Chain A
Amino acid sequence: MLHFLIIAPLIMAILAPILFKKIKGVHTGWFILVVPLFIFIYLLSLVSTVIHKPLFLQLNWMPSLGINFDLYVDGLSMLFGLLITGIGSLVVFYSIYYLHKTEKLGHFYVYLLMFMTAMLGVVFSDNLFVFYMFWEFTSLSSFLLIGFWNHREKSRYGAQKSMLITVFGGLSMLAGLVWMSIVVGTNSIRGLIQHADVIIQSDYFLPILLLVLLGAFTKSAQFPFHTWLPDAMEAPTPVSAYLHSATMVKAGIYLVARLSILFSGTDEFFLIVSGFGLLTLCWGSYNAVKHTDLKGILAYSTISQLGMIMAMLGFGTGVAVFAAIFHILNHATFKGSLFMVAGIVDHETGTRDIRRLGGLFTLMPITATLAIFGVFSMAGIPLPILNGFLSKEMFFDAAVDLRLESGSIYQMVAPFFPVIAVIGSIFTFVYSMILYFQTFTGELKLSKLERKPHDPPLGMLLSPFVLVVLIIVIALFPGPFNHYLLTPAVAAVMGSEVPHTKIYFWHGFFNAPLFMSLIVLFTGTLLYFTRSKWVHVYDRFPGSWSMNKAYDSIVGGIFKGSATLTNTYMTGSLRNYFRIIIGFIAILGLYTIYITTGFKFDQVTNSALAIPELIIALTMMIAAISIIFISNRIAAILALGVVGYGLSLLFVFFSAPDLALTQLSVETVSVALFLLCFYHLPKLKPEKDTSGSKLINIIVSVAFGLMITFIGIASHSSKWFESISDYFLKYSYKLGGGDNVVNVILVDMRGLDTMLEICVLGIAALGILAMIKYSRKGDVE
């Protein structure tokens, strides 16, 4: 059943364009909505079984390669599955009101459904390679969704950027996955986890870890790969809400969480994951403050929140993992609602620029109220109705808790972590306040808006409303969520029964997390009110420096560099190509002879040298060398003839009458052909080459000649086995009925060669005929 449900969105994707074309009256989204809703309900019905025992469902796909569509449903994948389908349903519902029927809805829902299948596949797959397939499928469908309005240049740029970065990471991850499966000898993720010690103790642990983490970091927009996420905001807002807050960017988180049993406990994993997580947290929240675009702020906020989750996964302690899992759920709720609110503001006012917005509370009271909950939850304001506060408190708890861990590296870096966490959270607070108060309070600038805003239709408000209700419900009654979703998920990540962690709003007086929250609150408020004083800091740091620029210069550099490289050897000059080809053959040949010491000169197999042969050879040599210096074409042709006839004479001396005859006739015919063409050819021009280029020609030709000579001598001097010629001499008459062994070989023993050779001749003739007879017609046209 689950196999079918994972594929169900894809099947629906086939129907979506048909529904869009055929049924004009109803918004296509209504039909689509059924799919995620149904999967959501089905998954809900599984929850109670999964908390007791994870499900494992098998389906053979390519058993011979060990690639099977096996599904593994435990707490972690269940949490993600519910997020994907639940928020998916809300997003589809929201998009019904957000996207007008004149948009290319057929395309939109196809991409969205493709994405849904991909994401479900990622979280439920047990097979590494099926997992990877779905992983890349998310990249592909997200590329299509970001570029949905493909007439905009920025959409195309953002789509390309996200594609390049996530696929770069995905391919690295594939290398890591293959490596792991080779080291352990299984393709099953569960199998890998059972053999965690094999991987940790293998020599390749570090490269495997780095490659896999590269995939997770690019997908989850960790520093320095976060740069694609802000540009992905060109997508329609439902897509941003869905992909870039709740689901796809959490695929990397999922991967790290899934494999953290494997890697956790090692210093490398701890340092890299928590280090980059905290860096991303600070960098994202710091940069979010300077943005003026609602979705831009939200994008950087997503980056920083993902960094926070990643850092907690890196800590790897019980509290930290619990907080991470809890924050995954919370972030999905409040960030989803915030994106939808931003979409509503954009939809109603025509702009997302906070410099043009303000005072919208009086005009859009419902939207503003919804936004309050999302924003304050994100900032972690200490109110019992905000789930963001609960998980942020646990994050501080986890950061402080780390000091208790033993181990040299832990003890060395642990004291800094709470400080970094607080700094990151202060900026989170500041941008959250900016996001809300700049948009909904203050002076109303109606003149700058395209239309007079008012609250949107109820349908558009319903999805953010549901999410806001969730924020409050999770905050007030965390117990059931904890029991059914979080604890099984934590158990899946930690790999053991976790001590039942309770979610408290109130940790009591005099504990570190409370003080940290208070510091964040006060410093944040202070910074918010004095922001006009310090905001020019951004001109100094990062100033004009950004990861975007780095990305652009890398991509541009690759383009330019490859163009320059190609232009250096793809000159279009045949002489040049010939030099390269011959030169490399000569180098390879000579080098091979050198390293294998294959050169051998054996005097024994040589026959005695006769004078006439020597004379002929000398004549041929003189003729050949003279061709180089002859500047008269007819003389060159005749000199070439001398070489040919000399060869025919040599054949006579070496008792090859057939060859001699053939060589004689062929040489005659070809000299005649040369002379035929003679009238049409321009005069030979003296060489215009520079002396350097001539020198290269000489070196290359001499090297090539030497190589051929060496190979000839060496192969003549080494006989490894009896030649086959005795057989031919013996059986020529018996089997072929002829005394002329050469001819018997040609027509009987190896007749196929001859047949193909005459085919070659025929083709050559037809080619010449076509070239001469029919090329003129082309000229006229």
Chain B
Amino acid sequence: MRTNDLILKTTTNIIVFIILAFSFKLFLAGHNMPGGGFIGGLMTSGAIILMYLTYGIGPINKVFRVPFTILVAIGLSIAVATGIGSFIFGQPFLSHTDGYFYLPILGKSHLATAVLFDVGVYLTVIGVTMTIILSIAEDR
């Protein structure tokens, strides 16, 4: 039976957000600084695992209803879709482009289609890691 780990829960509540934020940062900064979809994904799943460790599988599954196996499929589809998307512009498979755009809030931003591909990687990695760990953990 699980004891009431107040300290753990409290720290987790705070730390999870920090980790999540850091993982988003790693993910988004990937193009110019160390990081990227893979590490970002691993880090995000690290945060989710921390939640599972603290609260147990049952409670987290109630609030955090993400079907991780489907996440793998979504991630792969996005990655493939970005590859196929280049066909529309008459380019070879997986051609990327980038450019500067003016966005309403962020102002002048540098956007690259490679990031879309990285989103696919990111989601896949989360899905994979969580699927593996949860299915092993639930196997009693």
Give me the interface of A with B, judged by CB distance under 8 Å.
657-658, 661-662, 665-666, 668-669, 672-673, 676-677, 736-740, 742-744, 746-748, 751-752, 754-755, 758-759, 761-762, 764-766, 768-769, 772-773
Contact = CB atoms under 8 A, between A and B. Distances in A.
Interface stretch (B10-18, B55-63, B122-130): B122-130
A751 B39 CA distance: 16
A673 B49 CA distance: 12
Interface of B: 26, 29-39, 42-43, 45-46, 49, 69, 72-73, 75-76, 79-80, 83, 93-94, 96-99, 110, 112, 114, 117-118, 120-121, 124-125, 127-129, 131-133, 135-137, 139
Contacts of B35: 658, 661, 740, 743
19 contacts: A661-B34, A669-B129, A673-B132, A736-B98, A736-B112, A737-B98, A738-B31, A739-B31, A739-B33, A740-B35, A747-B30, A747-B37, A748-B96, A748-B114, A754-B121, A759-B76, A761-B125, A762-B124, A768-B131
Most buried by B among A740, A748, A765: A765
9 tightest A-B CB contacts, nearest first = A737-B98, A738-B31, A657-B34, A665-B42, A739-B32, A765-B128, A765-B131, A751-B94, A758-B124
Nearest to B46: A665
Contacts, number: 146
A641 to B, nearest CB: 16
A737 B112 CA distance: 7
A123 B99 CA distance: 77
A115 B43 CA distance: 73
B133 A673 contact: yes
Contacts of B36: 658, 740, 742-743, 746-747
A765 B126 CA distance: 11
Contacts of B34: 657-658, 661, 740, 742
A734 to B, nearest CB: 10
A751 B83 CA distance: 9
Contacts of B80: 755
Secondary structure class of chain B's binding surface, majority of residues: helix
Most buried by A among B37, B97, B118, B139: B139
A740 B73 CA distance: 27
Nearest to A746: B36
Contacts of A755: 79-80, 83, 94, 117, 120
B75 A758 contact: yes
Contact of A765 (B110, B120, B132, B137): B132
Given A662-B42, A758-B125, A737 B120 contact: no
Contacts of A758: 75-76, 79, 120-121, 124-125, 128
B76 to A, nearest CB: 6
Contacts of B98: 736-738
A747 B117 contact: yes
A781 to B, nearest CB: 19
Nearest to B112: A737
A669 B30 CA distance: 21
A744 B39 contact: no
Most buried by A among B42, B99, B132: B132
Contacts of B121: 747, 754, 758
A755 B96 CA distance: 14
Contacts of A666: 42
A768 B134 CA distance: 10
A590 B130 CA distance: 43
Contacts of B127: 762, 765
A647 to B, nearest CB: 16
A747 B28 CA distance: 13
Nearest to B72: A762
A658 B37 CA distance: 11
